[in-house]
Amino acid sequence: MSHHILVVDDEPDIEALISQKFRREIRAELYRFTFVGNGQDAYQQIVNASDEAAVDMVLTDINMPVMDGLALLAELTDLACPPKTVVMSAYSDMTNIRTAMNRGAFDFVTKPINFQDLVITINKTLKAIDKERWSQQQLEKAKVQLVQGEKMSALGQMVAGVAHEINNPVNFIYGNLKPAKSYVHDLTELISLYQRHYPEPVEEIQSYTEEIDLDFLQQDLEKLFESLGVGASRIRELVLSLRNFSRLDESDKKDVDIHEGIDSTLLILGSRLKGALEQPEIKVIREYGELPRIACYPSQLNQVVMNLLANAIDALSDRNKESDGSVEPGVIRITTKVVDDDWVRIAIADNGPGISEDVRAKLFDPFFTTKPVGKGTGLGLSISYQIVVDKHQGRLSCESSLGEGTTFVIELPLRG
């Protein structure tokens, strides 16, 4: 990346001189110079610069008209993140150079300029800038990890706790359904026996049988038990998925079936896929290949799948909201396969609006989101990236074309 150096000097020759001396670096886009003639113009340019034109370093003369180098330094120190400044002045001007250093200048060069020395000084300054930025980024990354880790573990614990609490009562229901069914069967059998052997019951029994519509009752009871069974096993499945998803007990790498994790996640997201009044259903197509069990951190990987699916669902719902309802139905396609013998490839593709070039450049940045406040945190993809790349030595990439859709690809090493 090219560094932007702002040169502040009232000597008209300096621009030609620097441009000539540094022509190779400029052509290689290592440095980009701009020139102004006094401190005031410099200050304006620094403060008003857009992100792309931000000034990384200032190389300033001390004695200038309008606003001199020392005044410029004084102004710059008030900025939130001032650019690093190197001052230039004659050797005999040591008093001013000292003052500049005391006002926060990073270094100085003496005039007349020795260009070899200037190159060394510029490189040293830029290196210090890069190092500071890198530390800042690491700090930011660590902060995100800490916050998200804390949130996930609290959420995971709660989910696991709730799942556990539901598990017991649901098992009462589930476990008692079978005996209940058989008792009812026995009782109906008994009634049939009575009916066979006493075909002419007393008046009271006859009228009560009609009142309760015994035939219908017997038929319906069977269906009723059927649906009780379906309901209970669906709750059991969901509870299992929640536990599978949070997998708190598994903080070590485990050999797992990736498909199980994906299926659990889909089950949890079920309500968002199913569609509602203004929300048409989203179709999920699973194209699972033959996968071996993979050594990984299962709950973290589930988290990644969850993030990617949630983004795809968001993208598809947004698209539906903006259109007049004539768009093709939303489809999420999940494809898994082994590639190059020792990589597993999980692709999650949607036919949503796609991602523009400039959004794609910032996709994995922490806190980058295009969603309104309260909806998006901008953490999903940055966390996913950390989990896939840092934790699993895998790769996470995104292919997208506007108007056609987006595919996120997770690749994990088989021998991880």
Q: Where does this chain bind ligand ADP (CB under 6 A)? A: 307, 311-312, 315, 350, 352, 355, 359, 363, 368-371, 376-382, 406
Stretch near Mg ion under the rule CB under 5 A, chosen from 139-147, 164-172, 190-198, 311-319: 311-319
Smallest distance, Mg ion to C-beta of residue 82, A: 35
**380 belongs to the binding site for Mg ion (CB under 5 A):** yes
Which of 121, 406 has the CB closer to ligand ADP? 406
Q: Report the 10 Å Cβ neighbour count for 115.
A: 14
The whole-angstrom separation of Cα 25 and Cα 263 is: 54
What are φ and ψ of residue 299, in 5° steps?
-70, -35
334 binds, among Mg ion, ligand ADP, none (CB under 5 to 8 A by kind): none
Stretch near Mg ion under the rule CB under 5 A, chosen from 103-111, 163-171, 356-364, 372-380: 372-380
Which of 125, 400 has the CB closer to Mg ion? 400
Stretch near Mg ion under the rule CB under 5 A, chosen from 40-48, 295-303, 342-350, 380-388: 380-388
Smallest distance, Mg ion to C-beta of residue 367, A: 12
First to last CA, the chain: 33
Say whether 145 sits in a helix, a strand or coil.
Answer: helix
The whole-angstrom separation of Cα 208 and Cα 263 is: 50
Smallest distance, ligand ADP to C-beta of residue 403, A: 11
Smallest distance, ligand ADP to C-beta of residue 183, A: 52
Report angle CA 97, 84, 70 to the nearest 5 degrees. Answer: 35
Helices (H), 198-334: 203-211, 214-246, 258-268, 270-274, 298-322
Largest interatomic CA distance in the chain = 130
Q: Between 208 and 227, how does the x/- string for binding to Mg ion read (CB under 5 A)?
A: --------------------
Element (H, E) at 141: helix 115-197
Smallest distance, ligand ADP to C-beta of residue 318, A: 8
Q: Please identify the residue of the shown chain whose CB is closest to the bound Mg ion.
A: 380
Which of 57, 144 has the CB closer to ligand ADP? 144
**352 belongs to the binding site for Mg ion (CB under 5 A):** no
331 binds, among ligand ADP, Mg ion, none (CB under 5 to 8 A by kind): none
Which of 37, 352 has the CB closer to ligand ADP? 352
Smallest distance, Mg ion to C-beta of residue 317, A: 13
Cβ neighbours for 184, distance < 8 A, ≥ 6 positions apart: 221, 225
**384 belongs to the binding site for Mg ion (CB under 5 A):** no
The first and second tokens of residue 103, run together, are 């006002």
What are φ and ψ of residue 67, in 5° steps?
-135, 120
The whole-angstrom separation of Cα 228 and Cα 216 is: 18
**311 belongs to the binding site for Mg ion (CB under 5 A):** yes
Which of 41, 365 has the CB closer to ligand ADP? 365
Stretch near Mg ion under the rule CB under 5 A, chosen from 125-133, 279-287, 296-304, 306-314: 306-314
Q: Which among 179, 175, 180, 178 is positioned nearest to 236, based on CA atoms? A: 175
Smallest distance, ligand ADP to C-beta of residue 355, A: 5
Smallest distance, ligand ADP to C-beta of residue 376, A: 3
Which of 145, 209 has the CB closer to Mg ion? 145
The first and second tokens of residue 306, run together, are 């969850």
The whole-angstrom separation of Cα 86 and Cα 125 is: 8
Smallest distance, ligand ADP to C-beta of residue 383, A: 8
User: 392: buried, middle or exposed (CB in 10 Å: 19+, 13-18, 0-12)?
Assistant: buried
Single-letter amino acid code for the residue at 46: I
Question: What length is written for the chain?
Answer: 416
Which of 60, 311 has the CB closer to Mg ion? 311
Which of 94, 361 has the CB closer to ligand ADP? 361
Q: Does residue 281 contact residue 292 with C-beta atoms inside 8 Å?
A: no
Contact residues toward Mg ion (CB under 5 A) are: 311, 380
